């Protein structure tokens, strides 16, 4: 596995208690970063946090909660150099005509508005210090749309558009903003999906297997390192061949 020098860097990983977020936390720690794990699951976040991980309770759909998390992180481990926004939910599987309105709002609030909140709260400091690396976790569903997952697909498409917009805004300074579009990985988010939907997602992956979270962490580690000094406002595929563009 590749190793990147993140010594002296402070990183925030949202959704860091499990799934892709947890794998990223471990990879960034191995690379020398100080890491804050932001998650709504307080008990699991504390349980997974070691002496080198700062556990922070944060609901990214709440602007006030995000501001509190920024303050706690920066007062504890320093100004934020790296953001990996991995927090998100899948929601129920249903066709549009029967899709629950409240479920739609909750998914968009967390996946898309939450992405906006976290990026907004952190980019100002990055611009002032002329340094930062941001990776927002989108999804192959945001590119191609999964049937019976309208809210998830739409919210992740929004993350892609948001990332491209912010990356261009910050292209005049040393702040890179990119996103990745994973295919499904076998994480606790599967608990929110029907088996039929899980089978559908697997059937669409040419590699005929799910993404391993460590594979996602490897790509993300490069994206947040100094080795990635030029690319910004870009979308990196992690779909096992599924993506058509």
For residues 4 and 222, give the distance between their C-alpha atoms in angstroms, rounded to a whole number.
Answer: 7
Instruction: Give the residue carrying structure tokens 């349980």.
Output: 47
In the numeric block, which tokens belong to residue 50? 């070691």
Neighbours of 15 (CB within 10 A): 30
Q: Is 4 a catalytic residue?
A: no
Choose the catalytic residue: 4, 99, 152, 200: 152
Among residues 31, 30, 39, 50, the alpha carbon closest in space to that of 12 is found at: 39
For residues 178 and 137, give the distance between their C-alpha atoms in angstroms, rounded to a whole number.
Answer: 9
Instruction: Give the residue carrying structure tokens 């998390």.
Output: 69
- Under a CB-based contact definition with an 8 Å cutoff, are residues 103 and 151 in contact? yes
Instruction: Give the residue carrying structure tokens 């504390």.
Output: 46
Neighbours of 20 (CB within 10 A): 28
Specify burial of residue 196 (Cβ count, 10 A radius: 0-12, 13-18, 19+): exposed
- φ/ψ region of 232 (left if φ > 0, alpha if ψ in -120 to 50, else beta) reads beta
Positions annotated as catalytic residues are 152
């Amino acid at each position: 596995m590749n190793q990147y020098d993140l010594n002296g860097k402070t990183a925030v990983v949202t959704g860091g208690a499990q799934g892709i977020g947890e794998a990223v936390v471990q990879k960034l720690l191995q690379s020398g970063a100080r890491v804050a794990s932001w998650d709504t699951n307080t008990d699991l976040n504390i349980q997974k946090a070691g002496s080198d991980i700062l556990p922070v309770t944060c609901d990214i759909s709440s602007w006030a909660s995000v501001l509190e998390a920024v303050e706690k992180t920066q007062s504890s481990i320093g100004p934020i150099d790296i953001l990996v926004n991995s927090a998100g939910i899948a929601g129920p599987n249903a066709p549009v005509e029967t899709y629950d309105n409240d479920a739609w709002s909750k998914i968009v609030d967390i996946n898309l508005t939450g992405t906006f909140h976290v990026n907004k709260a952190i980019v100002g400091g990055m611009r002032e210090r002329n340094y930062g690396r941001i990776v927002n976790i989108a999804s192959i569903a945001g590119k191609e749309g999964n049937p019976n997952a309208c809210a998830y697909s739409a919210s992740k498409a929004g993350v892609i558009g948001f990332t491209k917009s912010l990356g261009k805004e910050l292209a005049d300074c040393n702040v890179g903003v990119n996103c990745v579009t994973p295919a499904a990985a076998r994480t606790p988010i599967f608990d929110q999906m029907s088996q039929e939907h899980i089978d559908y997602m697997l059937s669409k992956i040419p590699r005929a297997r799910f993404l391993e979270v460590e594979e996602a962490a490897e790509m993300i580690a490069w994206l947040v390192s100094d080795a990635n000094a030029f690319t910004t406002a870009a979308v990196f595929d992690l779909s096992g061949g599924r993506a058509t563009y």
